[in-house]
């Protein structure tokens, strides 16, 4: 459902932006408005960004290969990061350039009412696209705030569309204010100031997107709620006494890698251990369906007070050197 909702929001935004971009460029050519031109470039950038998101989603569905045994799920993160770069360069920097040009050499607007009409229509279309993104996001957002949703989301499409649509609406309002003040005062410098505001907004949103998608590219763990459910699933298996440590990382928005070291009884037979591990994996997948790859390692738990000193005899009487890992686990040196 999350994937379908993301695709629907992206396609809706793409259709809206293509129509908006065309109307903005026509209005910019007629009126000579810098803010309209900047908004037209912004809409083209947004359209390209939505194509990138769709392409990333398609490429992420490729089957795992020998070179990429964990699949291509992170392609969606790569293309989301490209969205941030495009928004920063084509949207933000171009708007700042146009603002500098318009403020340093202002020109009178021609037939500004056309620009106002186009901006009002664009606001309606962008509001419709954003309403779709909000509706689809609410299906997976739960009780989180919008800021927390953007920060915690492991699927990049909906946060990207939400931020893009927010920037688009703010940019349209800035352009409308710039054109409106130019008409009211007769001073075309306000058109340049509106363009400057658009550039600042787009650069800020691009930076936020870059920071969030970079974190996803580096590799983020499961959410605290998912980690708690995985821990409960492991402990619910009768053959597992405790979780020594748990490590998770997203290989893609819908592909979670789970690696756990669990404590078992010293006298458990191989068949019992195998049965316990299989049962634990089934419980994890039932609790967290995105946990596609699970590795459970059985071990003997030794609390800190019971650890053998370095170089002492091991359980079988043979001398061994060991280091103590996190939470009381013992690992070979």
One digit per residue, the tens of pLDDT, for the chain of length 333 reads 456 557 878 888 888 888 888 888 888 888 888 777 888 887 888 888 889 888 988 898 898 889 988 889 899 999 999 988 888 888 888 889 888 988 888 877 777 788 888 888 888 888 888 888 888 888 888 888 988 888 888 888 888 888 888 888 998 899 889 888 988 888 889 988 988 998 999 899 999 999 999 999 999 999 999 999 999 999 999 989 999 999 999 998 889 999 999 999 888 888 989 999 999 999 999 999 999 999 999 998 777 665 555 444 444 444 333 333 444 444 433
- Residue 89: the pLDDT is 83
62: how many CB neighbours lie within 10 A of its CB? Answer: 12
- Residue 305: the pLDDT is 60
Q: Cα–chain-centroid distance for residue 297?
A: 31
- Residue 33: the pLDDT is 80
Contact between residue 183 and residue 32 where contact means Cβ atoms under 8 Å apart:
no
Map out the domains of the chain with their CATH numbers: 2-218 (1.20.1510.10), 224-301 (3.30.70.1350)
- Residue 258: the pLDDT is 96
Which residue from 303, 304, 309 is spatially nearest to 321, judged by alpha carbons?
A: 309
What single DSSP character describes residue 154? S
136: how many CB neighbours lie within 10 A of its CB? Answer: 24
Alpha-carbon torsion 205, 210, 216, 222, what sign? negative
* Distance separating alpha carbons of residues 175 and 10, to the nearest angstrom: 24
Q: What three-state secondary structure class fits 219?
A: coil
Contact between residue 305 and residue 243 where contact means Cβ atoms under 8 Å apart:
no
Q: Write the CA distances from 7 to 3, 52, 140, integer angstroms.
A: 6, 12, 14
Contact between residue 41 and residue 71 where contact means Cβ atoms under 8 Å apart:
no
pLDDT digits 0-9 by tens, 27-71: 888 888 877 788 888 788 888 888 988 898 889 889 888 998 888
* Distance separating alpha carbons of residues 32 and 105, to the nearest angstrom: 13
- Residue 175: the pLDDT is 87
80: how many CB neighbours lie within 10 A of its CB? Answer: 27
* Distance separating alpha carbons of residues 307 and 280, to the nearest angstrom: 27
- Residue 293: the pLDDT is 93
Residues 6+ apart with CB under 8 A from 265: 239, 241
* Distance separating alpha carbons of residues 190 and 279, to the nearest angstrom: 67
- Residue 247: the pLDDT is 95
Q: What three-state secondary structure class fits 75?
A: helix
Q: At what angle do helices 34-60 and 75-86 cross, to 10 degrees?
A: 170
- Residue 197: the pLDDT is 92
């Amino acid at each position: 459902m999350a994937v379908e909702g993301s695709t629907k929001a992206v396609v809706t935004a793409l259709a809206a932006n293509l129509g908006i971009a065309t109307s903005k460029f026509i209005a910019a050519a007629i009126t000579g408005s810098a803010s309209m031109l900047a908004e037209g470039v912004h809409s083209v950038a947004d359209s390209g960004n939505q194509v990138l998101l769709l392409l990333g989603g398609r490429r992420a569905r490729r089957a795992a290969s020998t070179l990429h045994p964990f699949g291509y799920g992170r392609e969606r993160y790569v293309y989301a990061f490209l969205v941030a770069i495009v928004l920063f360069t084509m949207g933000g920097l171009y708007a700042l350039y146009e603002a500098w040009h318009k403020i340093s050499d202002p020109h009178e607007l021609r037939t500004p009412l056309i620009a106002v009409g186009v901006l009002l229509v664009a606001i309606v279309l962008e509001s419709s696209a954003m309403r779709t993104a909000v509706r689809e996001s609410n299906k997976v957002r739960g009780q989180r705030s919008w800021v927390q949703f953007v920060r915690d989301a492991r699927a990049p499409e909906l946060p990207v569309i939400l931020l893009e649509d927010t920037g688009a609406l703010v940019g349209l309002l800035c352009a409308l204010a710039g054109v409106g003040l130019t008409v009211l005062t007769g001073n075309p410098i306000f058109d340049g100031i509106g363009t400057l505001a658009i550039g600042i907004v787009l650069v800020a949103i691009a930076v936020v997107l870059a920071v969030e998608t970079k974190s996803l590219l580096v590799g983020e763990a499961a959410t605290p709620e998912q980690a708690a459910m995985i821990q409960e699933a492991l402990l619910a298996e009768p053959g597992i006494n405790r979780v020594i440590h748990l490590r998770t990382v997203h290989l893609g928005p819908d592909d979670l890698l789970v690696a756990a070291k669990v404590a078992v009884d010293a006298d458990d037979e191989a068949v019992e251990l195998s049965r316990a591990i299989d049962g634990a994996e089934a419980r994890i997948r039932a609790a967290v369906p995105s946990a596609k790859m699970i590795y459970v390692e059985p071990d003997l738990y030794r609390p800190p007070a019971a650890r053998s000193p370095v170089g002492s005899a091991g359980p079988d009487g043979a001398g061994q050197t060991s280091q103590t890992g996190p939470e009381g686990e013992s690992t070979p040196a």
